[in-house]
């Protein structure tokens, strides 16, 4: 069910198996495991500890992660996009009458995201929302608010590594069962951005679409070869040790 990439346990099953695993977990932190996020974890001890915690589930969301699995000859069943996992979990929340909390993005974006979700899922219980512009080391009022609302799921859209650091810091304090950093998903749900066409997603070219739409992202692609190089070096080192 899992493969090891640079000491990370990455889920290798199908999206449906992934959703089943999340639903059956008592408390879980879902990491969209693209190379940028995983590489950041290698540079930061707090993030690495969080990413390798027993409560963490890393999903293969990113072409670099898919390629890494192939390099290690342990391919994953499929790319699992974080926004698709989020959508399935929201459906589950609605079906079970469970509350969710939205944290992150600009105020107008998170408000529109909440509105659009309630339009799409009529019976969804959005217990609350808050923008991502606050000091994560000094947010007692926000944490107290979330504690009082007791959402089943919290989706955090503050970009990497800020969203992961927030979850790492407050996961044990908050009553939520499901924590998930969702990057730019609020912007997509709010209608500010669009996902790539289905044919591009199917061919693993969603990253290219995002770079075309948001050219500033091209700098972030440079982490992919760095990550792949680390994977190759680590594989070679382990092979030499075993021989």
Q: Same structural domain for residues 211 and 153?
A: no
**Domain boundary at 170, 193, 216, which?**
193
Q: Same structural domain for residues 109 and 72?
A: no
Q: Is residue 226 part of a domain?
A: yes
Q: What is the pTM of this model?
A: 0.94
Q: Is residue 87 part of a domain?
A: no
Measured CA to CA, the distance from residue 183 to residue 158 in angstroms comes to: 6
Domain with 124 in it: 98-193
For the residues of 102-164, what is the DSSP string, one character each?
EEES-HHHHHHHHHHHHHHSTT-EEEEEE-S-S-TTS-HHHHHHHHHH--SEEEEES-TTHHH
Q: Same structural domain for residues 73 and 108?
A: no
Q: How many residues does the chain have?
A: 243
**Domain boundary at 193, 215, 230, which?**
193
What is the tally of structural domains in the chain? Answer: 2
Residue 187 sits in a domain of what CATH number?
3.40.50.2300
Q: Same structural domain for residues 181 and 205?
A: no
Q: Same structural domain for residues 102 and 188?
A: yes
Q: Same structural domain for residues 105 and 161?
A: yes
Q: Same structural domain for residues 160 and 234?
A: no
The pLDDT profile of the chain, 243 residues, written as one tens digit per residue, is 999 999 999 999 999 999 999 999 999 999 999 999 999 999 999 999 999 999 999 999 988 999 999 999 999 999 999 999 999 999 999 999 999 999 999 999 999 999 999 999 999 999 999 999 999 999 999 999 999 999 999 999 999 999 999 999 999 999 999 999 999 999 999 999 888 888 888 777 787 777 777 777 777 788 999 999 999 999 998 888 776
Q: Same structural domain for residues 123 and 208?
A: no
Q: On the CB side of 7, how many CA atoms lie within 13 Å of its CA?
A: 11
Which alpha helices (H) appear in the chain, and where do they start and end? 15-23, 35-43, 45-51, 63-71, 82-96, 107-120, 140-149, 162-170, 185-190, 198-202, 206-213, 223-242
């Amino acid at each position: 069910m899992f493969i090891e990439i640079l000491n990370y346990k990455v889920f290798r099953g199908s999206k449906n198996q992934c959703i089943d695993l999340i639903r059956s977990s008592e408390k879980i932190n879902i990491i969209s495991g693209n190379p940028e996020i995983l590489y950041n974890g290698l540079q930061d001890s707090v993030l690495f500890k969080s990413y390798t915690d027993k409560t963490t589930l890393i999903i293969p969301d990113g072409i670099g992660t898919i390629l890494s699995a192939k390099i290690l000859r342990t391919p994953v069943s499929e790319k699992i996009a974080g926004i698709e996992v989020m959508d399935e979990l929201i459906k589950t929340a609605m079906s079970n009458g469970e509350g969710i909390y939205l944290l992150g993005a600009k105020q107008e974006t998170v408000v529109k995201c909440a509105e659009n979700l309630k339009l799409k899922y009529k019976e969804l219980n959005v217990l609350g929302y808050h923008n991502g512009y606050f000091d994560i080391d000094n947010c007692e009022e926000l944490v107290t608010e979330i504690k009082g609302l007791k959402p089943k799921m919290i989706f955090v859209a503050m970009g990497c590594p800020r969203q992961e650091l927030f979850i790492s810091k407050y996961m044990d304090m908050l009553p939520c069962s499901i924590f998930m950093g969702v990057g730019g998903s609020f912007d997509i749900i709010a209608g500010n951005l669009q996902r790539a066409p289905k044919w591009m997603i199917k061919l693993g070219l969603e990253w290219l679409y995002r770079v075309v739409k948001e050219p500033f992202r091209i700098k972030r692609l440079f982490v992919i070869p760095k990550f792949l190089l680390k994977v190759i070096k680590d594989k070679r080192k382990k092979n030499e040790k075993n021989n």
